[in-house]
Amino acid sequence: MMETIGIWVAAFLTLSMFSFLYKDNPFYKFAEHLFVGASMGYFIPYTFFNVFIPYAYNPLFLRHNYWLIIPFVIGLGYWFRFSNNLGWLSRYPIAFSMGIVGMGVPMSIHAQILVQMRTMMLPLTNINLILIFIGTVSILLYFFFSKAHEGLYGKFTSVGIWFMMVGFGASFGYTVMARLSLLIGRLQFLLGDWLGLIK
């Protein structure tokens, strides 16, 4: 019984959302506002049962790990974010959370810069490796603005744009296919689970 009601509710909401393809209308607004509220409502118990209870409540109140009172009190500072007078207290939990950016310095240097440079500096033994090398260098030079993009140098940097455009095209193609597979999933739900027209 609940499964049938669930399918009808999901079908109604799916069609309400698709109605935006015609134009903005009350059904779409209904579905949109419901989605925002239900999504936020989903995360409150999820965070409570999966983060707060195992990492804050149980260690502090059941296992009596009293050191955790400190982050517990600091975390409560978030609640003052909406206060005009005590809003500054919310900066403390934010500051403790931001400390982790320290790891970002060596990690981004390693993963995003050194590893990428190392994989680029392979012996140029075939045409593909030569193309990858030329593409990467020309794109990097395209974003180097301390030298005017003119003459032979300008022509070389414009090769970087061509490589970027092919890359963006590939990313776009991938994204479109991902969205289309979601669309196919919704149509399969409407025609199969709801109307039973396809098996």
Partner 1 sequence: MKRTIPLLIVMILGMMFVVHTFVPHKISQDFYNWYQTWLKVMVSFAVILGVGSLLMVHTNKIKRKAPAWGYSWLTILALVGTSAAGFIWGIEDGTPYMWIFENVNAPLGATMFSLLAFYMASAAYKAFRARSMEATLLLIAAIIVMLGRVSIGNAITEWIPDITQWILNVPNLAAKRAIKLGVGLGMTATSLKIILGIERTYLGGGKQ
For partner 1 (CB under 8 A), the number of binding residues is 113
- Per-residue x/- track, 58-97, partner 1 (CB under 8 A): -x--------x-xxx-xxxxxx-xx----xx-xxxxxxxx
Contact 93, 78 (CB under 8 A): yes
User: Considering the complex, what minimum distance in angstroms separates the CB of residue 67 from partner 1?
Assistant: 9
Beta carbons within 10 angstroms of residue 138's beta carbon: 19
- Nearest-angstrom CA–CA distance, 194 and 10: 9
Binder of partner 1 out of 25, 61, 66, 116 (CB under 8 A): 116
| Residue 77 DSSP SS3 | helix
Is 156 an interacting residue with respect to partner 1 (CB under 8 A)? no
Binder of partner 1 out of 169, 191, 192, 198 (CB under 8 A): 169
Interface of this chain with partner 1, residues 133 to 152, rule: CB under 8 A: 133-136, 139-140, 143
- Nearest-angstrom CA–CA distance, 124 and 97: 44
User: Considering the complex, what minimum distance in angstroms separates the CB of residue 195 from partner 1?
Assistant: 15
Contact 77, 92 (CB under 8 A): yes
Binder of partner 1 out of 25, 61, 109, 153 (CB under 8 A): 109
Number of residues in the chain: 199
Is 99 an interacting residue with respect to partner 1 (CB under 8 A)? yes
Contact 142, 162 (CB under 8 A): no
